[in-house]
Amino acid sequence: MKLSRLIAMAFASAALTVGAATQPVAAADNPYERGPNPSNSSIEASRGPFAVSTKTISSLSARGFGGGTIYYPTSTAEGTFGVVAISPGYTAGQSTISWLGPRIASQGFVVITIDTNSRFDQPGSRGNQLLAALDQTIADTTVRNRVDASRQAVMGHSMGGGGTLEAAKSRRSLEATVGLTPWNLDKSWPEVEAASLEIGAQNDSIASPGSHAIPFYNSLTNAERRGYLELRGASHFAPNTSNTTIAKYSIAWLKRYVDDDTRYEQFISPGPSPSLPNGISDYRID
């Protein structure tokens, strides 16, 4: 947990302690906790406990990226939510990662899936566009009262996955990154401080884990935490269709590091044991 968040939570905890007689212990321990106690079935479900609405950001109104779709919980009864931006991969549009928008938002996040300015944009540009999308979502008149701007994260597929590390290198305040079969010519990321999960695919012939996701994971020596999960028998394009394993561990990671919700630690550590039944060929956590 970053120092600024530790200080904020300490003040929140102290304030809540004053009224401890009327405040639940969980609220004092973690003011960012959202939703009911998790289970395997709850984070594997196609929809979580929050109803979700959408807002389209046209390419004309987007500032610094190619347009997108914001997915957000309709209720603010539990407070504000962390914000997550998601980028597609090289030559792809947001439709290839759009399934993640409502699935993650329904677990208690404001999410924007984006189109890039050009489908040929490289990871550095995609990283900048992820940050621009976060900024526009935070300022958006529809959702700004639902967003906690101090809790930001990025996700992406392929070059978009490589872009998540570029974004975290540029904006050290990001809480988390999730790279989905990520690709980047830069293999070394000691500058990244955000908790970072890399999800590779065993049979990826475009961004082979041994040349991309695993070196990224190995180099994240200054990240708050780093993880590597490998999808057994999967190709580079596994993230382009609904995938329960990707969703489950991405949600757990975001909950744990954007919401500081330790209830989700059970899914991360010790984590899954690679096996044929669970479709995972490798898992590492530091």
The residues that are catalytic are: 158, 204, 236
Decide: residue 161, CB within 10 A, 0-12 exposed, 13-18 middle, 19+ buried: buried
d(CA 54, CA 115): 16
* Residue at token pair 């938002």: 105
List, edge to edge, every strand of the sheet that includes 147-157. 52-57, 68-73, 109-114, 81-87, 147-157, 176-180, 195-201, 226-231, 280-285
Output the CA torsion 141→57→54→174 (10° steps): -70
> Nearest Cα to 115, choosing from 60, 162, 172, 170?
60
Widest CA span of the chain, in angstroms? 58
Q: Please tell me whether residue 243 adopts helix, strand or coil conformation.
A: coil
Selection from 179, 157, 172, 171 nearest residue 90 by Cα: 157
> Which residue type does 8 have?
A
Q: How far apart are CA 113 and CA 132, in angstroms?
A: 12
